Amino acid sequence: MNRGADAGNYYFASTPAQAPFAPIAGETRADVCVIGGGISGLSGALHLAERGYRVTLLEAQHLGFGGSGRSGGQSIFGYACEQSTLEKAVGKADARRMWDISIEGMELQRALIGKHAIDCHYVPGHMIVGNKRRHEHALREEIENLARNYDYHSLRFVPRDELLTLVASKRYTSGLLDSNGGHLHPYRYTRGLGTAAARAGVTIHEHSGVTQLDVARDATGDSVIRTAAGSVRARHVLVAGGALLGRLVPSLARKLIAIGTYVAATEPLGERVRSLITNNAAVADMNWIIDYFRRSDDHRLLFGGRVSYSGIDPFDSARVLRTRIAAVFPQLADARIEYAWGGFLDITTNRAPHFGRLGPNAWFIQGLSGHGMVISGIAGKLASEAIAGSDERFDLFGKIRHPDFPGGPLFRRPALVLAMLYYRLRDLL
């Protein structure tokens, strides 16, 4: 598969071609219109169709074009923010409910893969590794806290000597192994959800970017969603555009900033890649600007890291990630980078997810802050529950206060760049 400028995306290149969904043309009606063809939108559409709703989904590019088809593919417990952040925001009881929802999300991901026979190379096992001696205490504390306060018992501490047998790098001092986590091919997973949604009756339109959203002000009215070539009139709307939503809904855009993140895939390494991560878990380190890596199904090393807070790609990502790979695995100094790509993810000021309502019958999902491989799927399910009238779980997240990014349209990025420079310096200490 070759998608022009995105030909460097290994996930796109390694996914069998599928017939595209036709762009919308003319006016149509639906019970629900979903905006966004990533995991959250597709999960919401699928679950709604299974409840008997007539659903139309509009995607500006192709399914999985955004973060859902570009990420590191790591299935991780919890949220991008710490549980302590949620406890302060909503109290311990609701923070516990949110935690349980995140763990349900891990179970849901595996259930959807099994139910719909999605060939996305799911592999169990995820590790968080410490870069410094002080990280050992933090990892032990995390294991104890999640076992004691959240009844999460799938974590195991990995001391340095054992870690060296699992990850062939001397950079790491200790680790945390989660047997409940895992990793997968995110684009194949997303496309599999799209196939499942279409089979369930969802009408999907690709290359149908929304140009105008008129949300009904009362529960008895219809919202109107317009594109350049057509429109949808629907009683309910789910906005799931994330980082690529742009200024369609200014009140949502002010709560987010889109940052660039980058991934590279080596050439196939054969048996060599097995020795790099012997248990085939996904790995992420504990720096603020993290390195994360895993083995692919076809024996490559997939390696991600480095971010751009400026809104543009300021460097040759393949070259920079090549340097990072050599720093972690010097034994790969001769390995060739075959694919390198980037994409945008949306972050909130506190890194907590941002779910809520735009009107009586309009919902939104955004702000997964780089932790969306699991949360996006369960978020779509929660939105389907809310649309069907059971909104308690979805509305939990509406209790989290999300201030606008400071600085306004002109100065929010420079302010963020300066803040991130501070955290980058901390990583070096």
What pLDDT, in 10s, does the model give residues 200-218?
A: 999 999 999 999 999 999 9
Residue range 362-396, pLDDT digits in tens? 999 999 999 999 999 999 999 999 999 999 999 99
Q: Give the phi and the psi of residue 314 in degrees, each rounded to 5.
A: -90, 0
CA distance 31 to 38: 20
- List of residues 6+ apart from 351 with CB closer than 8 A: 79, 80, 81, 85, 369, 371
- pLDDT tier, 333 (very low <50, low <70, confident <90, very high otherwise): very high
Weakest mean pLDDT among 32-46, 168-182, 257-271, 353-367: 257-271
CATH topology of domain 1-122+184-256+348-408: FAD/NAD(P)-binding domain (3.50.50)
Do the domains spanning 1-122+184-256+348-408 and 123-182+259-347 agree at the CATH topology level? no
- Give the model's pLDDT for residue 317: 75
Instruction: Assess whether pLDDT exceeds 80 at residue 420.
Output: no
Instruction: Assess whether pLDDT exceeds 80 at residue 422.
Output: no
- pLDDT tier, 320 (very low <50, low <70, confident <90, very high otherwise): confident
Question: Where do the H-state alpha helices sit in 176-261?
Answer: 186-199, 250-253
- Angle in degrees, 0-180, between the axes of helices 92-115 and 83-90, rounded to the nearest 10: 130
- Give the model's pLDDT for residue 63: 98
| Neighbour count for residue 381 (Cβ, 10 Å) | 22
Q: Which CATH superfamily is domain 123-182+259-347 in?
A: D-Amino Acid Oxidase, subunit A, domain 2 (3.30.9.10)
| DSSP SS3 for 199 | helix
User: Domain segments of the chain: what residues?
Assistant: 1-122+184-256+348-408, 123-182+259-347
Weakest mean pLDDT among 13-27, 72-86, 239-253, 357-371: 239-253
CA distance 427 to 413: 21
Q: Which amino acid is at 272?
A: R
- Give the model's pLDDT for residue 315: 53
Give me the DSSP letters along 31-65.
EEEEE--SHHHHHHHHHHHHTT--EEEE-SSSTT-
| DSSP SS3 for 94 | helix
Q: Which residues are registered as beta bridge partners of 239?
A: 35, 364
Instruction: Assess whether pLDDT exceeds 90 at residue 62.
Output: yes
pTM for this one?
0.93
Decide if 73 contacts 302 (C-beta within 8 A): yes
Decide if 34 contacts 41 (C-beta within 8 A): yes
Decide if 202 contacts 55 (C-beta within 8 A): yes
